[in-house]
Amino acid sequence: MRQIFDAELKQVGDDLAEMSRLVEQAIVKAGTALLTADIELAQQVVAQDQAIDELERDLDERCVLLLAQQQPVATDLRIVVSALRISSSLERMGDLARHIAQVARGRYPRHAVTGDLQATFAQMNDAAVRVARRVTTLLTTRDLTVAHNIERDDDLLDTLHQDTFAALLGTGWTGTPQETVDVTLLGRYYERFGDHGESVARRMLYLVTGAFEEARP
Amino acid sequence: MRQIFDAELKQVGDDLAEMSRLVEQAIVKAGTALLTADIELAQQVVAQDQAIDELERDLDERCVLLLAQQQPVATDLRIVVSALRISSSLERMGDLARHIAQVARGRYPRHAVTGDLQATFAQMNDAAVRVARRVTTLLTTRDLTVAHNIERDDDLLDTLHQDTFAALLGTGWTGTPQETVDVTLLGRYYERFGDHGESVARRMLYLVTGAFEEARP
């Protein structure tokens, strides 16, 4: 019984890592699509989001079956419940990468972001990619120092998000309403991407240390 | 054992209904704050969101304890797992109402939304309030006809969200960048509020009928 459970639990961990790798690819491609107006890449992100959604459904079913058939307690139970929540965050991160790609696709052949804001979004995308990579590392190694680096990049994303508002609301802004809308939504997508990454980090901290850190203000 | 379980399960249901009632109050107040530039109401929504967050944490702990101590199977297990997910949606709906209130508060004493868009947001808020009320009804009565009405209002919110973009990107738009940013974010918040309501409706359908409806495109 224990062997079956361990094998099932390993599969859950492998599925989460696989979801996270797909999210990583999605955000890398979405950012490149956005910053270089590459419609081909944008399409790929949109198409590949389905695979993430399907993995989430499989993983959730697997977790519910595990709860029903193996009746885990203590740490095992904590792992299964955390997996349910982490898969939900990863699914949302995939959606957000897709939303970014959809903005890039909608503006093609123009760039959705122009001028000084390109540098800001390049930084946001770098931070988001680091978050995604570290989430994969965290899920595969459980190295908690990585969790703290994720929090730092989430903070950076919040700061850069504020920078986008400062640009939009400053006297120098001459963008069209479409550009204002796009920058507003893109900023929000990246900020939420960071939030979900940070949420995975907190769940993993809880899982490994048993102490659930309160959501930071 | 069964009696304890039933009592615990009833408490979970009561907590979900309580969360939902708080979300309902939050969106009613947030909408009024937005449409009448009422800073007092806006503050209340921001302050009261904590109560929703705390209920979510309590409810999650209760569910995990239930899983550990009672080892539910079949329908009981489905109820507990669904409760975990529904509480997460309700918590997000509370956050979104808070975000709406924060926009209203940030623009006070001015109105965040002016002109023709006021009518659009009044409609969006009416739809969001109906979604929240019906989620409460659904959680307390399990009447599935309510679930279908929630889906209809979610569709209406999507349509109205598109209307806001049409207004922002039409030739008649003369708003400032701040107004463009606010309308973009508010539209997104209402649209997501509907999505989460619809997600609760689908989970309840799953719970009552055992068939999980695929996320609609």
pLDDT tens-digit series, residues A99-138: 999 999 999 999 999 999 999 999 999 999 999 999 999 9
Q: How confident is the model at residue A75 (pLDDT cuts 50, 70, 90)?
A: confident
b/e per residue B11-29 (b: at least 16 CB within 10 A): ebeebbbbbbbbbbbbbbb
Across the interface, which of A64, A165, A184 has its CB nearest the CB of B81? Answer: A64
Looking at residue A211, what is its pLDDT?
54
Q: Residue A66's closest chain B neighbor by CA?
A: B73
Tally of CA atoms within 13 A in the half-sphere of A29 that contains its CB: 25
DSSP B190: H
CA torsion, ordered B64, B66, B69, B74, to nearest 10 deg: -110
Looking at residue B217, what is its pLDDT?
40
B interface with A, Cβ–Cβ < 8 A, is 53, 64, 67-68, 71, 73-74, 77-78, 81, 84-85, 88, 165, 168-169, 173, 175, 177-178, 180-181, 184-185, 188, 215
User: Does A191 have pLDDT greater than 60?
Assistant: yes
Residue with token string 């507003």: A184
Q: What is the mean pLDDT of residues B99-103?
A: 98
In this complex, do B177 and A180 lie within 8 Å of one another by their Cβ atoms? Answer: yes
Q: Which of B181, B213, B214 should be substituted to probe chain A, the one whose Cβ sees the most A Cβ atoms within 10 Å? A: B181
Backbone angles phi, psi at A215, to 5 degrees: -55, 130
Cβ atoms within 10 Å, residue A137: 18
Token digits for B162? 């598109």
Among B28, B135, B138, B43, CA closest to B89: B135
Chain centroid offset of residue B132 CA = 6
Q: Residue B72's closest chain A neighbor by CA?
A: A68
Q: How confident is the model at residue A73 (pLDDT cuts 50, 70, 90)?
A: confident
Rounded to the nearest angstrom, the minimum Cα separation between B53 and chain A is 10
User: Does B215 have pLDDT greater than 80?
Assistant: no
Rounded to the nearest angstrom, the minimum Cα separation between A203 and chain B is 13
Tell me the chain B residues in contact with residue A81 when contact means C-beta distances shorter than 8 Å. 64, 67, 84
Backbone angles phi, psi at A211, to 5 degrees: -105, 125
User: Does B1 have pLDDT greater than 70?
Assistant: no
Tally of CA atoms within 13 A in the half-sphere of A213 that contains its CB: 17
Q: What is the mean pLDDT of residues B31-41?
A: 98
Q: Of the ranges A3-12, A150-159, B45-54, which one carries the lowest mean pLDDT score?
A: A3-12
Q: What is the DSSP string of B1-26?
A: -HHHHHHHHHHHHHHHHHHHHHHHHH
Domains for chain B: give ranges and CATH numbers: 2-209 (1.20.58.220)
Q: What is the mean pLDDT of residues B46-54?
A: 98
In this complex, do B67 and A81 lie within 8 Å of one another by their Cβ atoms? Answer: yes
Q: How confident is the model at residue A215 (pLDDT cuts 50, 70, 90)?
A: very low
Residue with token string 């209760």: B62
Tell me the chain A residues in contact with residue B49 when contact means C-beta distances shorter than 8 Å. none
A interface with B, Cβ–Cβ < 8 A, is 53, 64, 67-68, 71, 73-74, 77-78, 81, 84-85, 88, 165, 168-169, 173, 175, 177-178, 180-181, 184-185, 188, 215
Q: CA–CA distance from B165 to each of A62, A116, A181, B46, B71 (Å)?
A: 40, 24, 8, 27, 49
Rounded to the nearest angstrom, the minimum Cα separation between B59 and chain A is 13
Q: Of the ranges A34-43, A132-141, B14-23, B68-77, which one carries the lowest mean pLDDT score?
A: B68-77
Calpha distance A139→A203 (Å, rounded): 11
Q: CA–CA distance from B70 to each of B64, B67, B77, B169 (Å)?
A: 10, 6, 10, 56
Percentage of chain B beyond pLDDT 70 is: 96
In this complex, do A168 and B175 lie within 8 Å of one another by their Cβ atoms? Answer: no
Calpha distance B172→B167 (Å, rounded): 8
Q: SS3 of A170, please?
A: coil
b/e per residue B127-158 (b: at least 16 CB within 10 A): bbbbbbbbbbbbbeeeeeebbebbbebbebbb
Looking at residue A216, what is its pLDDT?
44
Q: Residue B188's closest chain A neighbor by CA?
A: A185
Q: Of the ranges A88-97, A204-213, B169-178, which one carries the lowest mean pLDDT score?
A: A204-213
Tell me the chain A residues in contact with residue B173 when contact means C-beta distances shorter than 8 Å. 177
